[in-house]
Amino acid sequence: MSTLALVVTLLGGCASGGGYSGPTLRTADVEWAALWPEIAEPATAEQAGFRPRAPEGDDLARLRAAERAFEALADVSADDPAAAQAAEQAWADARAAVVEEPLTGYWMGRRLLFAVLVNVDQRSADEGGMIRSAGASRAQRELVAMGEAAAPVLILDLLRSDRADRRELGAELLQQMGPAAMPALRRVLDVDDVRTRRYAVKAVAGWPPSPEGRAVLLDAIRDPDFGVRAEGWRGFVHGPDDLALLKEAMRGRETDPFARRAIYEALGHYQDREAAGMLLDEMERAIAASDSDTGYVLLEALQQATGRSDLAGTPAFRRFLETWNPEAGSAPIDGQR
């Protein structure tokens, strides 16, 4: 049995748990099917669950050709540059053929995702962490490079998973994919599935600054769910306009304690005296309220913003801020994010 046939068999629903079974969804499956009609089997009263259509005919032939081309890459010797170049070109041609259609692009993405998940699951966290261990795999690089064609599989098979590590991996891969994933993400940013929205926004928050990404974050911080707002706030780390928004939120726009912690984290990316003063005021209130968890978040943010990991107590920070005049002004700290 080819790997593709195995993927079709094992991943007939959604890749999720250790056995790659379907996740428990927070949104009706019929809604997910409606979001991707070009991929899903039509929902019926008898079969309402989201299931991707199986590839057939020419679609299946193109997928098998692409699978063979991808697997051939591993068989080429580094001592034969001509053969390596030919294998790369064969894969590029086969990949281009499958990404032309949403269904074949989705299934090729699943084939590559299967390889990524096997790679991740075979490595222990002691080797550098699950997400980072997948970074060296050719399958992951190719999956990310597929962009818009592969984004739906990351959303449908990972962001909806009941496993936190799968959701984190999905957000990480969508973050690496960047704005190419936006057409797929737009379909889920309004779904009645809080957890999927949170991880979708988390992916966008990690992108380099862009108008379309910032528009998503601005919508996210108005979301009724505090977790979605928190992921949105974490993305405002790209300059004066973002800093001004964070300061506005600190003055009372955002009242949820969990979401405010995300704002503290974002402010830690700025060398700004006023922002540091706001963080210090909040830390004094947290200490007075015996809120050690919030106090620790604030301490880390202050140390990051000021570059003074040797300072810990509020009196020490007060004395430091009296004379601190950061040359970087309100610019994000180099090397952060």
What is the DSSP code string of 197-230?
Answer: HHHHHHHHHTSPP-HHHHHHHHHHTT-SSHHHHH
Six-digit token string for 10:
């094992």
In angstroms, the CA 107 to CA 67 distance is 10
pLDDT at 25: 37
Sign of CA dihedral 138, 141, 143, 149: negative
Domain boundaries along the sequence of the chain: 3-219, 236-337
Per-residue pLDDT at 253: 86
Give CA separation, 47 vs 28, 30, 188, in Å: 12, 9, 22
3 state SS for 28-42: CHHHHHHHCCCCECC
Cβ neighbors of 21 (< 8 A, separation 6 or more) are 13
- Listed as own residue / partner, the contacts of 27-32 with beta carbons closer than 8 Å and 24 or more positions apart are 27/191, 27/192, 27/193, 27/196, 31/191, 31/192, 32/156, 32/160, 32/191
Tokens of 310: 């040797």
The single residue listed with the structure tokens 């001509």 is 82
**What pLDDT does 17 receive?**
32
Greatest CA separation found in the chain?
Answer: 73
H helices present in 11-101, as ranges: 29-35, 57-72, 81-98
Tell me the mean pLDDT per 10 residues along the chain, length 337.
51 36 42 81 64 92 95 87 93 95 95 89 56 61 94 92 92 95 91 89 95 95 96 96 96 93 97 95 95 95 93 90 74 45
